[in-house]
Amino acid sequence: MRTTLRISRAAAVFTAVGALALTGCSDDGGGKDKPDKGSGSGKQSSSVALPKLDGEKLSVAAVWTGAEQANFVKVLKEFENRTGAKVTFVPAQDPIVNFLGTKIAGGQPPDVAMIPQVGAIQQAAQKKWAKPVGPEAKAQLAKNYSKVWQDLGAVDGTQYGVYFKAANKSLIWYNAKAFENAGAAEPKTWKDFLKTAETVSASGVTPVSVGGADGWTLTDWFENIYLSQAGPEKYDQLAQHKIKWTDPSVKAALTTLAELFGKPSLIAGGADGALQTEFPASVTQTFTGGDQPKAAMVFEGDFVGVNIAQTKAKIGTDAKVFPFPAVGAESPVVTGGDAAVALKDGKGAQALLTWLASTDAAQIMAEQGGFISPNKGLDATAYPNEVQRTMAKALVAAGDSVRFDMSDQAPQSFGGTPGKGEWKTLQDFLKNPKDIAGTQAKLESDAAKAYKS
């Protein structure tokens, strides 16, 4: 789930809904809040025509597991019902480009792969694995997606990807009881965030949980700070390696991040503990232990709700959220997505892309919870609670003013591989946040190699 975009006017949209969105939400996203009168049921008439594919066998690969996989299989089942095809879900592993390369080398590529990085889509196109999107799927994209989402799935002007899923990764979730006991309030700026952390710490609870064992969470910390502090133009330049990682703007962002990482007392388990904490545990340890959890806050996206559901905490009462604090003029909103890419020629694979670009497919997934769609044709009442409805509306309202996750735009060897590149260097930075120059030099060295290859 390493996905990220920036909504430039999100501060106006999202800040206003931060606390409001969570009022009265279900604890697991499974039960629906009743929509306002006159808003409709969320049900929609069929939005897409599909061919008959009786007897055809297709496969879809994705790194999704658990509830996310189960919910997606429901989307595939409806495709089967409408076309007569038989679709098999193929569990994939990160990095997905390596997984797909092995499958292709063995002569058994899936018909469609759900690819979570822009850089990986570009690699699949360059390697001639990816097949261009056909006219029916393009028509659905033109009807249901903002231009930015179409462009994110294109390489050199050719459409390859259909973005099925998005995620908002600019949220700080917090243990409401721990905040109440500490007398802490939701901060709006980075300076206030650090003050809030100190207030919580003084109450006897460690303020921040960091899932440092998963390097992608650390890239998200950096990207939110960089985006808010340096601004979208610099963000675009760094994402494309048009400026170097030794640029002063990177130094400024790392210096800001070190204001947190450089104080081990503010992080659950200190740096060593954080580096041994995987993302799911970083969430659950924030919402277990009653009013004495291992940490009071955890940073990550809307998908955190899935992990909170594994605890007894209820979203909206025990678990609340506020937007990532503004470092610069406004709070950042970073999100990303998973795109469907055809790896085989043929009517079946193209029909799957067409289906996944439709509002019908998006509605099935949205109704299950734990999912946000970039499909602007989807009625927001399809989402099971006000949290997700609000996040989805903000995403769609942003239109073309978005920026995709920086690490997911990079070549996978730099921005998306465990134990290497940006993931590893930021883990080293968490351990030694004083070495800003060394961190910049290593990031630049690894980036230069990756963008050249």
Average pLDDT over residues 428-433: 98
Q: What is the pTM of this model?
A: 0.73
Which of 112, 11, 14, 6 has the alpha carbon at shortest distance from 58? 112
Write down the domain spans for the chain: 57-168+335-397, 171-331+417-453
Using omega within 30 degrees of 0 as the cis cutoff, is the peptide bond preceding 132 cis?
no
pLDDT of 19 > 70? The answer is no
Contacts of 53 (CB under 8 A, 6+ apart): 83, 84, 85, 347, 348, 351
Q: Three-state SS for 194? A: helix
How confident is the model over 369-384, as pLDDT tens digits?
888 999 999 999 999 8
Q: What is the pLDDT of residue 46?
A: 66
CATH class of domain segment(s) 57-168+335-397: alpha beta
Contacts of 253 (CB under 8 A, 6+ apart): 222, 225, 226, 229, 230
CA–CA dist 131, 255 (Å, integer): 43
The pLDDT-based confidence of 36 (bands split at 50, 70, 90) is: very low
> What are the CA-CA distances from residue 17 to residues 33, 34, 139, 180, 276 (Å)?
17, 18, 33, 21, 34
Higher pLDDT: 183 or 236? It is 183
How confident is the model over 263-294, as pLDDT tens digits?
999 999 999 999 999 999 999 999 999 889 99
Task: Please tell me if the domain spanning 57-168+335-397 has the same topology as the one spanning 171-331+417-453.
Answer: yes
Contacts of 246 (CB under 8 A, 6+ apart): 440, 441, 444
171 and 302 Cβ atoms separated by less than 8 Å: yes
What element of type H or E holds 114?
strand 112-115
pLDDT of 15 > 50? The answer is no
Q: Report residue 396 as tokens.
A: 């769609």
pLDDT of 8 > 80? The answer is no
Q: Report residue 397 as tokens.
A: 């309202």
Higher pLDDT: 388 or 147? It is 147
Q: Three-state SS for 191? A: helix
CA–CA dist 259, 31 (Å, integer): 40
Residue 347, exposed/middle/buried by CB under 10 A (0-12, 13-18, 19+)? Answer: middle
CATH of 171-331+417-453, one of 3.40.50.10860, 3.40.190.10, 3.40.50.300, 3.30.70.270: 3.40.190.10
The pLDDT-based confidence of 401 (bands split at 50, 70, 90) is: low
Q: Any idea which residue has 């292709």 for tokens?
A: 104
> What are the CA-CA distances from residue 329 to residues 8, 226, 230 (Å)?
11, 12, 10
How confident is the model over 140-177, as pLDDT tens digits?
999 999 998 999 999 999 999 999 999 888 889 999 99
CA–CA dist 116, 408 (Å, integer): 7
